């Protein structure tokens, strides 16, 4: 579902100024830099590993896998936070019937 949304937004050019747009912008930046330098990170990393010389990246760049995994984490974190908040509210109301009655009216 997330990949389909990324693909649809990339093809249509539609902008909603949300996390998906920010992620697509970061992905496009990575592709543009690879095209400009002619260096593919995977091949560069393979050569660096073979030579035991690594280039330290100061900026993290996003690819589709990172975007999808972050989206899933945000989704789960949102559900978890909401579920815990509602559970605590229900527990407090169950322990305090007078407050529950005031809220009901």
Give me the average pLDDT of each 10-residue run along the chain (105 residues): 82 84 78 59 53 51 77 87 94 94 85
Q: Tell me, what's the pLDDT at 54?
A: 46
Check: pTM over 0.75? Answer yes or no.
Answer: no
Domain ranges across the chain: 2-104
For residues 29 and 63, what is the distance between their CA atoms, to the nearest angstrom? 10
Long-range contacts (CB closer than 8 Å, 24 or more residues apart) made by 29-34: 29/61, 30/61, 30/62, 30/63, 33/61
């Amino acid at each position: 579902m997330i990949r389909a949304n990324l693909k649809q937004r990339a093809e249509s050019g539609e902008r909603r100024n949300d996390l998906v747009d920010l992620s697509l912008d970061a992905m496009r930046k990575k592709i543009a830099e690879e095209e400009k330098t002619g260096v593919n990170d995977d091949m560069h990393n393979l050569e660096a590993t073979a030579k035991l010389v690594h280039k330290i990246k100061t900026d993290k760049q996003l690819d589709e896998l990172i975007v999808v995994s972050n989206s899933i984490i945000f989704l789960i974190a949102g559900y978890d936070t909401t579920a815990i908040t509602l559970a605590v509210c229900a527990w407090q109301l169950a322990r305090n019937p007078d407050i529950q009655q005031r809220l009901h009216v």
